[in-house]
Amino acid sequence: MTSSLLPATPLQPRKRAVIVGASAGLGAALAKKLAREGFALALLSRRMDRLAELCASLNADGVTRALAYEHDVTNYEEVPSLLRRVIADLGGLDLFVFNAGINLPPGLETMSAADDIQMIAANFSGAVAWLAPVGDLMKEAKSGTIVGISSVAGDRGRIANPGYNASKAGMTTYLEALRNRLTRHGVHVLTVKPGFMATDMLRASAGPKPFTITPERAADDIYAAIRKRKQTVYTHPIWKWIMLAIQHVPSTVFRRLSF
């Protein structure tokens, strides 16, 4: 089931962005950033109460018009019709952001196939359900930007959370393939690899959290990368160098580490 909230006044001509996973954290911060930069917004999330509150705030500020749609990213079958509806309501599409995802607490003693499958279903399969048709539309238009929120967790298979690592590794590789297909057609594809971010997801996890940044800082980094048409952006930027080092740790050494 999908529902939506439309603004009371018609949208004015402006840049148009869709964010899937926009009710809180990075998605909400990106919505606010893009609103300030002049984008009309279509925001999607399971949590319609929080999404409606965000859209009401954005619309009240008068700087943009924001539309709210209820959507569960594991409901793959509704994506084609919902995408057509969202684009019709916005009047077009210039920027698409997939930010939805879950990270279930891992167990170090036993594996949970159910949890791993659930994370892959939301984080990877849910992304593919949107990215494939959006990519085709932008290819036909020969313009547009696709932003996928992956993670530093996808850069190496760690002991801590195999399912989450795999879902983000899949996301990173899929975005790379899209980039290779679409760049020649004028479409920009950006892979975002956050480290630790002060969100509800992080607060629910255990362990040390070095170089934690705010969602607002990450949104600024992402928008700067969009403007510069970068291929990949790490946020906090120090993670680029940390992950470069981690990727070069020999497997015989890496498997002995406890993270």
**d(C-alpha 90, C-alpha 78), whole Å:** 18
List pLDDT tens digits, range 129-168.
Answer: 999 999 999 999 999 999 999 999 998 888 778 999 999 9
Per-residue pLDDT, 205: 62
- Residue spans of the domains in the chain: they are 10-254
Write the single-letter amino acid at 237: P
**d(C-alpha 152, C-alpha 209), whole Å:** 13
Residues labelled catalytic: 164
Beta strands 95-98 and 145-149, pairing class: parallel
The answer to whether the beta carbons of residues 178 and 147 sit under 8 Å apart is: no
Tokens matching residue 81:
């019709």
pLDDT at 254 over 80: no
Beta strands 39-45 and 66-70, pairing class: parallel
**d(C-alpha 180, C-alpha 23), whole Å:** 31
List pLDDT tens digits, range 17-42.
Answer: 999 999 999 999 999 999 999 999 99
pLDDT at 2 over 60: no
CATH, domain range 10-254: 3.40.50.720
**d(C-alpha 182, C-alpha 147), whole Å:** 13
The answer to whether the beta carbons of residues 148 and 95 sit under 8 Å apart is: no
Q: Which of 47, 211, 55, 74 is nearest to 130 (CA)?
A: 74
